[in-house]
Structure 1
């Protein structure tokens, strides 16, 4: 089993991991609080929420599987080498569990609060259905041969794809409304911080091990950080440069959709 070469690097890795966990985890709360204060979810794209739940559920399956399952860890070492460290930290598992919980909570807010005429699109429903049916097929294929590493890698791939897709409806919605009212910028700033910390954390492990397997052995985590940073910068541009300081009207349901 691989071990750390530097105690300082290991401590920095764990500290950065938990800082990323708190940044990413806290990023869910500004939107929940904003919804609660407004008693409205108008301006929050429902497709984003549904796709986000699929994304985080898939990421939880991957992180929990690789972190807890000895069988999957053995298959990982057989593929990438027994001198390589498992690229999933406790903070990754904790974040995934928290993300699923908060996304479900936000979906409950959609059911409770004013949502205007917004609804989940047929395209989103189709994409989500195809993703989970495909995942079920992969489970059936992997089961006889116990191809567990391949199976959790499928879920890792799903979360990468969903990360690329999930932000698109919200970005287009902001563009169409010429406003980011109802979409919390606090969420984006914390998400960007978490993504940067996560990327630096992976770099530290690679430097300590003198190997870049950590990046391509967990390509999903690498792409997650890069994709999140790209979209976070896009939303920051929309909020502060393209559609700045647009005041919400007294009745949030009157906002142009």
Structure 2
């Protein structure tokens, strides 16, 4: 179990903290989606966990051990961003080899993951020769090739069309079900979150806190257009109409904004 407590993250010139007293946990092998309004700190949370943001006060608990801001998580991490971030001067294969340790099995491992995402034939092409969806599949392969224990995903399918995003979600689930890393997946798309996650955490506006935790018990696969998923989607929005704005209905009359 990984437990994250963000004591405070405050950007210069901001009127209030982005994150304050925010706590969440993720079990080994669990897929957790983070949903919340724009600017509430979802990407900031991932940056803190990855070590990209070193200006936050936070605490981590991993397998009973408490770590602080001076310590990194003692586990392998992968990170998939909002764009593919491939090196344009490297081939597809070399983009994967770049994140490996150049062991005797690195090339074999990289080719295995390219095959898993359906791109083994494009191994020696350059990113500019690939479609946007294919570039995202390379980025997925690169995130998994390090065999992470924790995978951070920051709206990785945000700028592709709906059919391509659905195919990418299918590839992601296939990879995740094979190796079962912990996943923290940021998205603005509630249907995407319901399609992928074991649990969805809804965040408030700043300073962000968890306003609702929704377990998802529907079996995979869960296409975003399936009847069961759409029923759950409508049920959530009917019960909590302001949820995607970061407010639960029962909090509307008690919160001071």
Normalised TM-score (structure 2): 0.26
Between Structure 1 and Structure 2, which shows a larger proportion of strand residues?
2
Greater relative contact order (CA < 8 Å, ≥ 6 in sequence): 1
Between Structure 1 and Structure 2, which shows a larger proportion of helix residues?
1
Normalised TM-score (structure 1): 0.26
